[in-house]
Amino acid sequence: MRRSPVFHQVPVLPVVVPLAAAVLAGLLWSLRRRGRLSVPRASVALALCVYVAGVVANTVFPIYWDKPARSAPWSSYLVVVPFADYEVTDAVMNVLVFVPVGIVVPLVLVEVSWGRVLATAAIFSAVIEGTQYVTAHVLGGGHIADATT
């Protein structure tokens, strides 16, 4: 009986905690610069950072230290046909992941509009998919970028 190889994972917390701290610092600096810093807004910014850290932890990781180099073409880590093998549970999960963006982003932005909130969610989604694409090929990440999500 052959045993599958065991690869060592990059620890999640040492990556996402500094990321969340950097995002929080940027948000607090931006709020202070605009004269809008208050305890409620700082609390919302903190909640947004915890949310971003959770999304990154669940969509980018696992990443492996010692996985062998990939010889597969880059296209094997990308699904460009929308809704191919897309399940209802995937759709529900993707919608639920971005609901906080629609709630929290308007509380942080100075000028709120549906367009800005949707643009923020779209950019956030594109960054996640791009990160999944690069980490899958370069760093041995465990996700594949999908045009549907």
pLDDT per residue as tens digits for the range 52-77: 898 888 888 887 776 655 566 656 65
* Rounded-to-integer distance, Cα 24 and Cα 53, Å: 11
User: How large is the average pLDDT for residues 74-92?
Assistant: 66
* Rounded-to-integer distance, Cα 132 and Cα 147, Å: 12
Model pLDDT for residues 90-146, shown as the tens digit of each residue: 778 777 887 887 787 777 666 778 888 888 888 888 888 888 878 877 777 766 666
Model pLDDT for residues 26-55, shown as the tens digit of each residue: 989 988 998 888 998 899 889 888 988 988
Cβ count near 22 (within 10 Å): 11
pTM: 0.69
* Rounded-to-integer distance, Cα 25 and Cα 52, Å: 14
